[in-house]
Amino acid sequence: MTRYPLRRLRLRPGDEQRDAVEIELAAFELGGQRYLPVPHEVEAALTVAKATTGLDLRLAFEARLHGPCMRCLADAVVDVHIDAREYHAADAGSADELRSEYVVDDDQLELSAWARDAISLELPEQILHAPECAGLCPTCGKDLNVEPHTHDELTPDPRWSALEELRDRL
């Protein structure tokens, strides 16, 4: 878990501190599959600006995730660009939505947790090895990208014949 000490910054309103930080990224569990960040540590640009009533936080970095394609289970790679912002009010009595959840005890900024959440917001709906991935055959399970094929209509189970008659009447 990577943390950044905010307490050591001596910023006045209008001042800004920029730092290059190394962030440790954890593996993602998405749709029952595991996606690994490669490398597991990335260099990020952190900007902390002092506003009149709190801190304006900005985190920017590039990340690459490796894992299975959601359609055919082949190796897939996703590159994401992160440019995340947070605001943290200085007043402890401020509303919860004005206080960043990533600033924890003694003004430590949880960079790993913030980076993980920012990555999860930037991921596509489906992680595919190629946009035109055909997936796996629902009947036999073969990879349709390698071996495109179709199956003949199966004869229906005779136990369903009564329902077939009902469907024909409706």
Q: What is the pLDDT of residue 25?
A: 95
Q: Per residue in 28-64, pLDDT tens?
A: 888 889 999 999 999 999 999 998 888 999 999 999 9
Query: Is residue 105 over pLDDT 90?
Result: no
Cα separation, 16 vs 47, whole angstroms: 7
What percentage of residues in the chain have a pLDDT greater than 70?
99
Q: What is the pLDDT of residue 9?
A: 83
Average pLDDT, the chain: 90
Query: Is residue 93 over pLDDT 80?
Result: no
Could you tell me if residue 19 is left (phi over 0), alpha (psi between -120 and 50 degrees) or otherwise beta? beta
Query: Is residue 137 over pLDDT 70?
Result: yes
- How many beta carbons lie within 10 A of that of residue 7, not counting itself? 8
